[in-house]
Structure 1
């Protein structure tokens, strides 16, 4: 009930602002020149930044002031770290993917523009539109009346470029045309195929030449340990969510293998965490073997030092990874 009240309140506020904002000029020719200049500036801005980061003055001029014959898809967010807005960064990245797909599509025109406003840069706009939380996306239509359906609330909708595209396509009157979002390339399918072929080939070889492994306790212990490590690294979560192997940021061109938010994970990140767990486990096994084995003292010392190094180094890296994803995590050993 409270959320419905907020949606209706924002809708009424935006409608009131659009009607109350005065025309730039009463003369039709002068108004047309103003509109053409605004569109030209927006097109130039879009060529530089597919998502235009507006301040209060720019938002008032390009969005609230008339004349305007284009729609604006505006994201309201809070990206400063001290705001502790966990979904904001991921939502902005997906918003960038959507805007990039629109900019490089054949349907691209001067009828739809993408903008972003940060609370700490434009608090006046948040206050004026009664936007009290983020992230949230508003569709500010060119001619039709603003309604509650023009609000994309991430609290009840999915944070993904594909879902936002469906919503934008519907709200902009099909101006978006037929195009697909430029999603990151998935590399994990050929990787999985290669791993599967190697495992099947190795299993066939072992079954043909050495069948005694079936009765080996060590074999089943290692198999169970691998399963536990894989599951504790996030394998099932990734399978359910359909996470990509990695992601290329459209605005930087860099490929990221680790997601720096605690509620999302890439496939590559799962493999990295699995490697950390394996090395930590191997270090524990070496320490245990060195303590109970009857081999000569030099080999036991080497095993102890190796096991201790594996345990300390990879556990420290694991804690660093946790701190990267959850910035207020307090524990560390060797590294930040």
Structure 2
């Protein structure tokens, strides 16, 4: 009995010691996480809310446990890489970081790791393109996530604007963040200049143009044709869906045409509308301008030139449709 009692006491003492060691380790890790949070909060306050990382700082800020979340932008800003999306998104990202820094909330950090400072991290993560944005959720605290692995931000789907990232964090990651875009003084001045110019046209030019507008169909034909071209090119789709201007392909290349017939970029609308405009003008030239030529040689040359323009442009349009969907069945020359 005495031996059994001693064994029981020894077991209880051992369990207590193990629990004490475990509690000490948990407390140590919690203190370490708080220490890292304080460190990065200090660095963020000195850099305007945006952290420029190297490989060591990246490993440290993404280390678990984390009582904070962090978005890390993997980019390549050096001129030799020619990464236009990186150059485009960087100021938007830093603007969002500055806006967040004004709240002095250390529950989230905005960081950037450039390829020149973290080649081993890019290689470790098998990143073949830039930019790439990773969201690391907290592993402890009220916002703790059961899955500590990073979540990738889809630029092609969400967009390259600061408000796009803020909306994604708020909606998809349940992390409320507000972003107020700085007042666009240049846009305001341009708009004000346009209003003044329009007012001057109404006051000084419109009375003299009234007879021309009411007496000819040309102005209304051009306005109507331009509206049809713009709308058929997908302007309303872009406006309703909030499509990004362009996308990123393999190797970080900028893409102007989105794959599939259910997606498109704003740049695609501009290109296709220009093609439609050229097609319309070439058809008008063949119907109106060429027949009015009195010189047979010029008339024949006009038929050849505008026919080539029309057919070549149509061939280019078919080729663009095939880039969006390889199963598109039609082609002309290209």
State the TM-score, normalized to the length of structure 1: 0.49
- Bigger radius of gyration: 2
